[in-house]
Amino acid sequence: MEKFAMFVQKLRYAILTVVLVLTLFFGYFIKDLKVNADVLGYLPKDDVAANLFNDIGKDYGGNETVIIGLECKDVFTAPMLNKVKEMTDSVRAVKGIGYVTSLTNIIDIKTTEYGLEIGRLVDEYEIPEEKEALEALRAYALSKDMYRDNLVSEDSKATLIVAKILNGSEREEVVKAIREKLSSVPFEGKVYYGGMPVTLGELSKVIVHDVMMVAPIAFLLISLCLFLGFRNARGVILPMLSVLIAIVWTMGLIGLLGYSITLMTNVIPVVLIAVGSAYAIHVVNRINEEIKTDPDKAIIRAMTYVTIPVILASLTTIFGFLSFIAGSYLTMIQEFGIFAAIGIFFSLLLAVSFVPAVISVFRIDSKKVQEKQKGNKLLDRFTSLIENFVFKSQRSILLAWALIIALCVYGITQIERRVDLVDYFKKDNIVQQSEGLLRSKFNGSMPLYMHVKGDIQSPEVLNAMKAAQDFMESYEFIPYSQSVADLVAQMNEAMGEEKAIPDSKEKVQQLWLMIEGQEIMEQLVNYDLDEAVIMGQVNSSDLEVLNEIEASFSKYVKENSTDNCRMEFTGIPLMLKRLDNSIVKSQFYSLILAIILVVLLVSALQKSIVKGLLAIIPVLVTLVALFGFMGLTGVPLDIATVLSGSVTIGIGIDYAIHFISCFGDEYQRSQDIRESIRSAIKISGRAILINVVSVTAGFAVLMFSDLVPLQRFGSLLAVTMLMS
């Protein structure tokens, strides 16, 4: 490494020039960065159920539906029904809206003295005003499954307006226009906004907030930690400047390659600020130490020693991030792992080239550095306390950790998993509030689809669809389902027959003519009448429910599909179940892969399998403590916290690597184990303490994120960094 150090010092001006050019190059492409909060867009392309879900959403509008909830004292009053009509008309007037459904325009099939009548539940031009008529409307609406708990709550205190956004329209702009329109409509009750477009829009806002607010806070907090640790400007400026450049390179590369900022990649700046600064911290610290003995050769001596440990530490972190590729269901998690690893590589490159080049160009006054370090007694006292405690309380330390591990092993058995998208938001967020309304007063908001292919006007296919609906509604967690078979059976009953599918295609076609062209048909059957969907609503995201849906519906589809009626099923519950499976799978594979790679890497570079195994021991203990802490405190395993294990391996082992490397170097000089440990604690311990505090502070800042999983992720890593 001495030759490399001399090479860096010799080409210091060239290195600074190259860094400047690359920073300008990558910085140019930051303008091309776009936010993409569409979690569903990151479903794997080779997943049949995911592709079917996206196709159904596109063809039938399920994923493009905005749900407006209105909460009031009583829906069935003339003023309230007029307000529903006014709001329905306002939403319909928004550019990009296909159809709007509410109590004032929903289809109604009934028998009158004149025979079958297909009209509207409420005549929007003659809304009833008399109490008797309103009470009759209430009784009628609440008697029909099509309306009760779907458009109006059973207690008559809430109603929904459902709007479909046209394909190709800008979802965020349409949702914004709807909210602006309705904000101008006077309403004494409470308005809620839900549906996938609203959820994704809120995610976009959260991502922008985190990028604009959380990363700068992390930058300032870590800068403060570095100043308190080094007590000089270079100790702050060089690590933070190198990490800022790494962020510019990484985010510019994301823009250059055409990728978007997702709810995972938006964390990369914070990760690089917290983790990437560590490598420059160790470089600056070692140079400061070498200045005390030989100011003229400080940079070469420091880089000769510190380059290998820094490279080793960064590679283990890179492997930790790359392990996310294994078993991840959502491609955005894989993207996060890849670009975070690239960012760490950039941080390494800058730490071992740019930082010493800057120090070499701007010569350090060794006396000032030593005076500053002498003035910083706090770290020296703390490292001395650690040194004395380690030598005097070895048994107590081992006993304490044994008790902690035992407690954490129990905690691991208490870990729960969560995959509900709504859980990503804080309690006061509009998505959480809307979901609360939909689950408490309506049939829920998680669609489950049964996709049917065949001659949809065939009695055989319609009966198969009706049987599938009955199967759906046999489960308590699916309170309601709807299909075109429903409408045909209702019309048949209204014609004086039983509520069933007619026995001939001709009769079906006669009934079909009466509902053809109705807006509701666009949601249930395609134009060619050879495909249709059965839509169910699931009111629970419990893992037991998701497991039951996957198992029972897979079996039903397999047993009931025929050549004339082919069935498939998909929906949000199945996507959540796949995500849960991937969380467990990803956690297992990524941890095993990261541990193996780290042990092999450390063993190869240190030329000792023993050192490789020794380096991983504190990390394994930290992992047990991490997952035990999750179980004991109720922090669930979710889309973000699943990453904490591999990150802990990648980052946590850095401390062990630096300590073992320093100990080995000191032992070669003194051949005294006790003295070598003291020296390692004093020299490497100083940088490790600064590093621990800065990394902990950096990840703790994620607790200011508006995304709940990232708050958990930040708090977990802050705790585990201290344990490491």
The predicted pLDDT at position 375 comes to 44
Q: In terms of Cα–Cα distance, which of 254, 281, 261, 273 is closest to 216?
A: 273
Predicted confidence (pLDDT) at residue 223 exceeds the cutoff of 90: no
Q: What is the DSSP letter of 500?
A: S
Task: Name the DSSP letter for residue 423.
Answer: G
Q: Specify whether the CB–CB gap between 699 and 274 falls below 8 A.
A: yes
Structure tokens at 306: 């510190």
State residue 363's pLDDT score.
66
Q: 22: which 2 tokens?
A: 């690359």
What is the distance of C-alpha 607 from the center of its chain? Answer: 39
- Name 446's bridge partners: 538
**8-state DSSP, 166:** P
CA dist 451 to 147, 530, 565, 568, Å? 23, 11, 10, 5
For residue 104, count CB atoms less than 10 angstroms from its CB and return exposed for 0-12, middle for 13-18, buried for 19 or more.
Answer: buried
Q: Which two tokens stand for residue 598?
A: 């780290």
Amino acid at 334: Q
Distance CA 417, CA 543 (A): 8
pLDDT tens per residue, range 100-153: 889 998 888 877 666 677 888 888 888 888 999 999 999 999 998 888 988 999
Residues 6 or more apart whose CB falls under 8 angstroms from that of 394 comprise none
**Could you tell me where the DSSP H helices lie in 184-324?**
196-209, 215-230, 233-256, 268-271, 277-293, 298-322
Average of per-residue pLDDT across 518-544:
87
| Average pLDDT rounded to a whole number, residues 336-348 | 92
User: DSSP states of 22-48 as a string?
Assistant: HHHHHHHGGGG--B---GGGGS-TT-H
The secondary structure of residue 94, as a DSSP letter, is S
**Beta bridge pairs of residue 35:** 261
pLDDT at 160: 94
Regarding beta strands 446-453 and 115-120, do their DSSP bridges make them parallel or antiparallel, or are they unpaired?
A: unpaired
Q: Is the dihedral of CA 321, 326, 327, 331 positive or negative?
A: positive
Highest mean pLDDT among 373-382, 589-598, 658-667: 589-598
Asked if 637 contacts 414 with a C-beta cutoff of 8 angstroms, the reply is no
Kind and range of the H or E run holding 590: helix 572-606
Predicted local confidence at residue 326, as pLDDT = 67
Distance, in Å, from the CA atom of 36 to the CA atom of 42, rounded to the nearest integer, reads: 10
Angle ∠(199,159,538) on CA atoms, nearest 5: 55
Q: Which residues, other chains included, contact 382 with Cβ-Cβ below 8 Å and sequence gap of 6+?
A: 689
Angstrom distance (rounded) from CA 614 to CA 625: 18
How far apart, in whole angstroms, are the C-alpha atoms of residue 628 and residue 622? 10
CB 554 within 8 A of CB 567: no
Q: Are 84 and 74 in contact (CB under 8 A)?
A: no
- All residues at 6 or more sequence positions from 387 whose CB lies less than 8 Å from its CB, including other chains: 677, 678, 681, 682, 685
| Whole-number average pLDDT of the chain | 83
Supply 2's token pair.
């001495």
Q: What is the pLDDT of residues 62-115, one digit of tens each?
A: 667 889 999 999 999 999 999 999 999 999 999 988 888 899 988 888 776 666
The number of residues in the chain equals: 724
3-state secondary structure of 452: strand
- Contact between 574 and 550 (Cβ < 8 Å): yes
Q: What are the contacts of 13-17 at 24+ separation with CB within 8 A?
A: 13/357, 13/361, 15/353, 15/354, 15/357, 16/354, 16/357, 16/358, 16/361
SS (H, E, C) 240-270: HHHHHHHHHHHHHHHHHCCCCECCCHHHHHH
* Residue bearing the bigger pLDDT, 81 or 603: 81
Residue-range domains of the chain with CATH: 2-32+201-422+577-723 (1.20.1640.10), 59-194 (3.30.70.1320), 455-564 (no CATH)
**Amino acid in position 81:** L
Tokens 């000792």 — which residue?
608
Give the range among 175-184, 253-262, 523-532, 692-701 with minimum mean pLDDT.
692-701
Among 120-124, 264-268, 328-332, 542-546, which stretch is predicted with the lowest mean pLDDT? 328-332
Of 521 and 44, the structure prediction assigns the larger pLDDT to: 521
How confident is the model over 335-346, as a mean pLDDT?
92
- Give the pTM: 0.77
Positive or negative, the CA dihedral 131, 136, 141, 143 is positive
**Strand, coil or helix: what is 445?**
coil
Residue 148, strand partner residues: 152
Q: Residue range 47-56: average pLDDT?
A: 83
Residues 333, 408, 723, 672: what is their CA dihedral angle, to the nearest 10 degrees? -120
Amino acid at 316: T
Nearest to 8 by CA among 373, 371, 310, 318: 310
Sheet holding 190-194, edge to edge: 97-101, 158-165, 65-71, 190-194
d(CA 614, CA 31): 46
Q: How many CB atoms lie within 10 A of CB 64?
A: 21
Q: Which tens digits make up the pLDDT trace of 362-382?
A: 765 545 544 544 445 555 666
Whole-number Å distance between alpha carbons of 692 and 482: 56
Q: How far apart are CA 484 and CA 520, in angstroms?
A: 9
| Confidence band of 337 (pLDDT split at 50, 70, 90) | confident
Q: How far is it, in rounded angstroms, from Cα 661 to Cα 612?
A: 11
Residues 570 and 469: their CA atoms lie apart, in Å, by 14
User: What is the mean pLDDT of the segment spanning 261-285?
Assistant: 83
Choice among 394-408, 479-493, 654-668 with the minimum mean pLDDT? 654-668
Phi and psi dihedrals of 415, rounded to 5? Answer: -65, 135
User: CA 240, 245, 248 angle in degrees (round to 5)?
Assistant: 125
In angstroms, the Cα distances linking 509 to 107, 171, 492 are 19, 36, 11
Write down the pLDDT at residue 20: 95
Reply yes or no on whether the pLDDT at 442 is more than 80.
yes
Lowest mean pLDDT: which of 312-321, 659-668, 690-699? 659-668
**Higher-confidence position of 302 and 85:** 85
Q: Report pLDDT digits (tens) over 176-215.
A: 999 999 999 999 899 999 888 888 888 888 888 887 888 8
